[in-house]
Structure 1
Amino acid sequence: MMTTPTTTPRLFRMLARTVGAPYFPLAFVGRLPFAMMIVGVLTVTAIEQESLALAGVLAASAGLGTASLGPLSGSFADRFGQRRVLLVLAVSSALAAAGFLVLVRLDLPAAALIASAAVLGATTPQVAPFSRTRLVGAVSSIPRTESARAQSVVMSYESMADEASFVLGPVLVGALSAGIAPWAPLALSAVVTLTVVITFAVHPTATLMRADPDDRPAGSRTPVRALVTAELALLVLAMIAVGGIFGSVLTGLTALLQHLGAVEQTGLLYGAMSVGAIAIAIALMAMPAGVSLSLRWLAGSAMAVAGVAALTTTEELAFVALALFIAGCGVGASLVALFSLGASVAPSDRTNTVLVTLQSSLVVGQAVLTATSGLIAESMGATAVFGVGAALAIVLLGLAFAYRLVVPTGVGTRGGSHR
């Protein structure tokens, strides 16, 4: 007798019974300090130091600080458990935010401010990949016949939550800076970190990992060198490309709207890209698990090429919004596939390491391209910056083809088809 596939709402109910319904708002709010951090550094520096150039450098430093410590925090979480790592990071991050807010008001050498911003970025907890790891662990309680689809639903939901947080984060920064003071966003971020992130750290789901650190025999951990594979390298490079697309598109859009005298609409128009990413994440929840992850990546990156390339052809804002929406759909589909592949290929005791590494790679691409695209925009204009974004989308598409060539059918999968 043929069984009826479990519906997406029922899968969510099954997950909610495992993690508890309050988990979802807790994990979402816990992402906001990370979503606010780079924009908060940019805003307070630009106002206090009266230098957009320095603000861009410090924002990039914060992003690179996040990327440098991210994989290490994931490795520690796999070794000692998420709870201890998140508690240390939460306290350290709040202290780093307070220190940065003091230093940025002083007449100090740029190197001191760069170091302070990097420390703030390095200590800001990355709740999103830790949440992904917990929900991947929760999927193990779902019947095996539905595990592939359940993992796809988890990654789609997590990508949707990420995009929503990265829309709300900058909005909060702008509202608090204008309504209270430039220091308010980072101050609120520190408060959320000390309350919500710590609550997330001690939540019972902290032990929902595919391999509990306390249950493994001594010396049984998968060595880091085992993660150095062509498959994971392609995923990391793809994440860097996606981050670069985000950074170049935002910078190019800002330059374009500045040229048109409508720079105040930057956030609104950029939101079209996030709406596209959220929309595709919702759509992917209903997609059958039989549609392979690498094929979703391939289709998504092709859509990203079309959307970003279209931005180089027009200054008509309605068309720009449509192109951003299409680009967002493409990038969003790629992100869901990349995180799903990462969770699938990660050894059971290295899930945190792999997912945080992917998240950190995304931040590296965004930070580097945000900084360099500003120089390109000043010298060559918005079209050149969008051209860089289109080139990165083509790279993302090429990596998707390479992945399908390099990775044999089904090798290394856990509950999902690569090809």
Structure 2
Amino acid sequence: MNGSAEASTRTRSLQVSPGDLEAAHLDELTREIEQRSLYYYQEKNKSLRARYVYGTIFLIINLCAWFIRDYAQKALALLPYVSSCGPQGSYCFHTLGVLRVSLGCFMFFLIMFLTTWNTMQLHQAQNSWHSDYWIFKFVLLVLVMVATFFIPQLYIQIYGEIARVGAGIFLGLQLVSVIEFITWWNNYWIPHDQRKQSCSFGLVMSTVFYIGSVCGIAVMYYFYVTSTACVLNMFFISCTVVILTVMMVMSLHSKVKNRGLLSSGIMASYIVFLCWSAVRSEPSHTKCNAHTQNSHTDWITILSFLIAIGAIVMATFSTGIDSESFKFRRDEGKEEEDIPYSYGFFHLVFSLGAMYFAMLFISWNLSDSARKWSIDVGWTSTWVKIVNEWFAAAIYLWKLIAPIVRQPRVHEQPQPTAQEVDR
């Protein structure tokens, strides 16, 4: 009797109702979902923090390129004994030294691009490679940097020619990113049916931008057209005035989809800045540039130099995280496991940015060395910035008229004949 009672008790204890099984299964499923969400959250935060680490690395490499250009010949006494550095290390300092540092930076970010370009989700191994393993990547960066100083001079000069093209591509990507941001900002402050926002902010901001643009034009005429002999500067500034007028008229046209003065006002300020940057980059020996007459180094020169380096890093960083501006088809929404930004595009932009900062440090000139504490100064730099200004205006105007040009024409339907009506 005792044995049978114990058996029946054991049988009853093993019996579990279907409701209990379902509740246990739901609890386990809920815990798995929470753990997965926590994992994706942590991985996404690591990925977002990694952007700033790469930006810091890029900044340090910029400073190293400046040091190699201006002060390394006295500080680094071992380089003259490297055979590829030539007599007294002349092939590893100044212009060629900047190109060697740029090549090392380009190769590092190119390796990162090739190893992360197809990353789509946070659980992939490439995501960990992008966000972790910093010691290994630091060793890789140092090895690549050191290796560039053992490359013969001929190959460094070939890289310099290629870097000009890469820097031009970077400028194009940067322009598209800036114009997309301006378009987004304009669309954000335009009142829609669903939005109850007032357009007063947009009106005030457009007025501020236009007043700033007009003041910038007046200041450039005052400082950079000091006599009737400054025909080239007069041409540059007058072309800018014509471009601003065309943009304002086009942005107010009734057939333009995203019309309004806010986007054209922001773009006008950007165009004026590009023109000012171009005329300021003219060589110091020109008589039409009041800011470059003094050849000595003062605190304004040093501060301008440091601001320029910071601008290079910020431009590269902001363009690198803006991969959505270069997609033909925008993503409607992202899943929880999707990466927060395109790793491949991010590293590709930084590799092109390495070529861009090299051109700025050597003023797009592969033969002559730039003056100390100077950046992007010379006639080549001036013309690059002017062409960049015209290209930016052309892209913006095309974005305004593209909806009109692409709009399908409505053809009149032919009237049916009497026989067709009878059918």
Give the greater-gyration-radius structure (CA).
2
* Higher helix content, 1 or 2: 1
Fold conserved between structures, TM > 0.5: no
TM-score range, shorter chain: 0.3 to 0.5
TM-score (norm: length of structure 1): 0.37
TM-score (norm: length of structure 2): 0.36
